[in-house]
Amino acid sequence: MPRAHRLLASALLISLAAHLLMLASAGSWWTPAAAEIPFPIEANLLPPPAKAVPAAAITPPKPKAIQAAPVAPAVVATPVPSPPVEPPPEPVSAPAAAPVAVAVETAIPAPPAVPLAPVPAAAALAPVLRNLPERLNLRYAVRAGDGGFNLGQAIYSWQRRDGHYSLVSIAQTTGLASLFVSGKLVQTSEGSITAHGLQPEQYWLSRSERKQDTARFDWGAGRLVLGNNGIELPPGSQDVLSFPFHLAMTVGSLTTEWTLAVTNGRKLREYQFRNLGLERLVHGESEIDTLHLQGSRSGEGTLDVWLAPSRHWLPLRIRTLDQKGKVMVLSLEE
């Protein structure tokens, strides 16, 4: 046994010398202790784990705020993009500045509407063109003044055929008026029917079978011949007999103002017509809605026509006022 103890002691001394030699060759015989590493075997020595928290309640770590220099209030309105952070944060709601930008865009006013150019009178009338019946016989009561003395009656005979028309009016006094004025007043208008309405070619007026006033429309040369005198012929000109029927074919309820030249066989006058709107007139035992049109010329009187849309737009009433103040009213009876 003593010998065995000596061998064990010798082995320990040799081992100790070997370890000292290895430490010396490493250049340092002392190294600070390393930080402890928690091995799984030491898990039982740790405090019990905290109670689990739902994932929805966990708030992701916020990136470290970036300090920036003070910014003027006028510049704050422009949002500054945040620097990228890894890992990327969960999606967040849009910044408050975004709705403001949308509101500014929707508040931009629309460009102003471009005003429409005025439509020429001839172009405004053409699209409304309507045809009158092939034959018409109309009887009008003739009175002096508005609601005044009954002078007699006028019979209008209308006929259209193959693009042409013929209109004849025969007026004569009746009753007491025939004691003071006798004879017949005959007017005739003949011409073509075009896309712009009636286009008279000739007009004449005769009293007691004697032709007195005549007008010849030379559309090719643009001349109007009154008796033996020729003058310039404006487009769309009419005579005093044809103009109410021309309006019945061309004027609509939306037509506002236009110019129309009218001749009586002695002179040619340009009237400024305008739409005075709807008026209800008494016709027999009923009431009829009409469109009141008035043509006027300074110092030359007026021409008024009431068109009845429910009666082929025919003139239900015609009123003339001359430069001397004389008023004649024709009211449709039959």
Residue 223 domain flag = yes
Residue 200 domain flag = yes
Domain span including residue 306:
121-332
pTM above 0.85, yes or no: no
Per-residue model confidence (pLDDT) at position 116: 38
Nearest CA to 189 among 162, 209, 160, 227?
Answer: 160
CA 95, CA 82: separation in Å to the nearest integer? 11
| CATH value at residue 191 | 2.50.20
- 186 residue type, one letter: V
Residue 39 domain flag = no
* Count: domains in the chain: 1
Residue 265 domain flag = yes
Residue 288 domain flag = yes
Per-residue model confidence (pLDDT) at position 146: 82
Strand ranges (DSSP E) for the chain? 135-144, 149-161, 164-173, 184-194, 197-207, 210-218, 223-226, 229-232, 238-239, 257-263, 268-283, 286-296, 302-308, 314-321, 327-332
Q: Find out whether 246 and 255 touch, Cβ atoms under 8 Å.
A: no
Residue 227 domain flag = yes
Residue 128 domain flag = yes
Per-residue model confidence (pLDDT) at position 210: 74
CA-to-CA dists, residue 29 to 14, 24, 25, angstroms = 18, 6, 9
Residue 130 domain flag = yes
CA 230, CA 1: separation in Å to the nearest integer? 169
Q: Find out whether 314 and 307 touch, Cβ atoms under 8 Å.
A: yes
Burial per residue of 215-230, b for 16 or more beta-carbon CB atoms within 10 angstroms, e otherwise: bbbebeeeebbbeeee
SS3 251: coil
Predicted confidence pLDDT, tens digits, the chain (334 residues):
556 566 666 666 666 555 554 544 444 444 444 444 444 444 444 455 555 444 444 454 454 444 444 444 444 444 445 445 455 455 444 444 444 443 334 444 444 443 434 434 433 444 578 989 999 999 999 998 887 788 899 999 999 999 999 999 999 888 766 555 667 889 999 999 999 999 999 999 998 767 789 999 999 999 999 988 999 999 999 999 999 999 999 998 788 899 999 999 999 999 999 999 999 999 888 899 999 999 998 777 899 999 999 999 999 999 999 888 889 999 999 8
The 3-state secondary structure of 77-144 reads CCCCCCCCCCCCCCCCCCCCHHHHHHHHHHCCCCCCCCCCCCCCHHHHHHHHCCCCCCEEEEEEEEEE
Per-residue model confidence (pLDDT) at position 230: 93
Nearest CA to 318 among 174, 192, 143?
Answer: 143
